[in-house]
Structure 1
Amino acid sequence: MDIHDHNRRAWDRAAAAGERWSAPVSPEVIAAARRGDWAIRLTPDRDVPREWFGDLAGARVLGLASGGGQQCPVLAAAGARVVSFDASEGQLARDREVAEREGLELELVRGDMADLGVFEDGGFDLVWHPVSNVFAPDVLPVWRECQRVLRPGGRLLAGFMSPAYYLFDFERAMATGECVAIHPAPYSDLHSLDAAAREKLVAAGELLEYGHSLEDQIGGQLRAGFRLEAFFDDHWSGGPEALDALMPTSHATLARKPEAAT
């Protein structure tokens, strides 16, 4: 099964439906960003500290799997030169919609987050990668590609789901408020569900997810050559309340590619 193509089509449908992550920001948000008043998120509920970004004026930024008309347009309005790279043409269309409406310069490229071969080595100052690698079977190539396309000293801002989130029976938590762990880690919709549940998801065209280990999420960044500089936990007010009350369900990291040796 081609997971990339399946999830691409699922995101196209989500974009057409105007789901939370596919709802373009308002003109007021862009106007505020142009004045220097802006905030965006790697994870569901918590704004990323502004100091994580460094100086965005003229910075070349790669929005990696972050289409939807929300974050990349804000970064462009804040003064960055932004490339929005996403698997979904529908998500890129939301970015295009805001860029055309607001007169923003925004380059749009469709592709797989694990293969950034269309970009040269060291061409970006910052990679912005909000929660999205849950839709990739293997996260390690994503970190390696981020490291390759960043200049020495460049920043990787990434968000990802906690692997513990996927231990629990999601439907039961939503319906009854009970948090019952039923899945071993690391989780995968393709391998952790029984055949009937898996076939139901695939037939419905639902997004297929992977609960990558912290060894792959954080250790993978370190093995790719990054230095971790900052970290925070976040909750998800739109998810199961019982799980959100139990623990943080997502995390964010600031990592940097080391400066070139002199």
Structure 2
Amino acid sequence: MDTIKHNQDAWDKKVEAGARYTKPVSTEIIEKGRQGDWGISVTTEKAVPRDWFPKDMNGLRILCLASGGGQQGPILAATGADVTVMDISEKQLEQDLFVAKRDGLNLKTIKGEMSDLSYFADNYFDLIVHPVSNVFVKDVHPVWKEAARVLKSRGVLISGFTNPLLYIFDDYQERQGILKVTNSIPTSTKEYLTEKEWKEHVLSGEAIEYGHSLEDQIQGQIDAGFVIAGFYEDDFGGNRILDQYIKTFIATKAVKIGNDI
């Protein structure tokens, strides 16, 4: 099956259902951003440290990669940055355009896949913001390589992604408070569901996810020409049993160095 198309449709449906990561930010948040009081998240709960961003955001070329939903993009645009939001979901991008029109922001949207940035020239962006979303692609290496290509030398990639430990447990039982190891990493929705569960999952329109190894996530960035310059972890805010034992989301700040070292 075409998993990209399936996930595109799944996120369109999430917008219609009003899911958390599809709700656009308020005018109040945008106004605070214009006054210098702003923050964004690329994981679940924690805000990205402000010192991961340049002090002067005005005119900075930023790509919000697989980041539709009217959240990160509009806030960054409110700082004076030149923001482009790219996502596979048309309805997610509509949320960004809604905020931009409502609050008079300089923001562009492009519908496309995170692993194919051929629309953009080499060395074009100063900063890429990539919230937890590569969980929806089978291979993360093209994402890192394309991000490195379109970033300027010393450009910054801020990424959020899932700790693969989350996927070793039976998802249904974990949500019931039972931690039962059933899956190996790497994995995908199709691999850890029974045939009956898989058919129900597809028919219900739920997104297909991939559990990538930490080597693919972190060494993958390094192989693409980045140096990891920042790191923190996040969780579900205490809403899942795993929060009692380990944090299941990771954020990294990576700087493009290419052949500089």
TM-score tier, shorter chain, comes to over 0.9
Return the alpha-carbon distance in structure 2 between the equivalents of residues 27 and 238 of structure 1.
28
Kindly provide the amino acid, as one letter, of the partner of residue 80 in structure 1. A
Return the alpha-carbon distance in structure 1 between the equivalents of residues 237 and 187 of structure 2.
22
Partner of 1:257: 256
Kindly provide the amino acid, as one letter, of the partner of residue 74 in structure 2. P
Query: In the TM superposition, what is the alpha-carbon distance from 1:191 to its structure 2 partner?
Result: 2.2
Kindly provide the amino acid, as one letter, of the partner of residue 249 in structure 1. T
Runs of 5+ consecutive residues of structure 1 not aligned to the other structure: none
Give TM-score, length-normalised by structure 2: 0.97
SS in 2 for 1:185: coil
Partner of 1:65: 66
Partner of 1:209: 209
1:208-233 CA-to-partner distances (Å, cap 9, x unmatched) read 10010001000100000101101011
Return the alpha-carbon distance in structure 1 between the equivalents of residues 253 and 74 of structure 2.
21
Identity %: 47
SS in 2 for 1:146: helix
Partner of 2:198: 198
Return the alpha-carbon distance in structure 1 between the equivalents of residues 239 and 69 of structure 2.
20
SS in 1 for 2:69: coil
Query: In the TM superposition, what is the alpha-carbon distance from 1:199 to its structure 2 partner?
Result: 1.2
Is contact 2:225-2:259 (8 Å) kept? no
1:243 and 2:246 are equivalent in the alignment: no
Partner of 2:106: 105
Is contact 1:152-1:260 (8 Å) kept? no
Query: In the TM superposition, what is the alpha-carbon distance from 1:169 to its structure 2 partner?
Result: 1.4
Query: In the TM superposition, what is the alpha-carbon distance from 1:238 to its structure 2 partner?
Result: 6.9
Kindly provide the amino acid, as one letter, of the partner of residue 66 in structure 1. S
Runs of 5+ consecutive residues of structure 2 not aligned to the other structure: none
Alignment of 1:41-56 (within 5 A): 41-54=41-54, 55-56=56-57
Alignment of 1:142-153 (within 5 A): 142-153=143-154
Alignment of 1:96-175 (within 5 A): 96-175=97-176
Return the alpha-carbon distance in structure 2 between the equivalents of residues 68 and 113 of structure 1.
15
Kindly provide the amino acid, as one letter, of the partner of residue 113 in structure 2. D
Partner of 1:37: 37
Give TM-score, length-normalised by structure 1: 0.96
1:173-213 CA-to-partner distances (Å, cap 9, x unmatched) read 222x1111111111201223221111111111101100100
Return the alpha-carbon distance in structure 1 between the equivalents of residues 239 and 156 of structure 2.
29
Query: In the TM superposition, what is the alpha-carbon distance from 1:260 to its structure 2 partner?
Result: 7.2
SS in 1 for 2:216: helix
Return the alpha-carbon distance in structure 2 between the equivalents of residues 215 and 261 of structure 1.
23
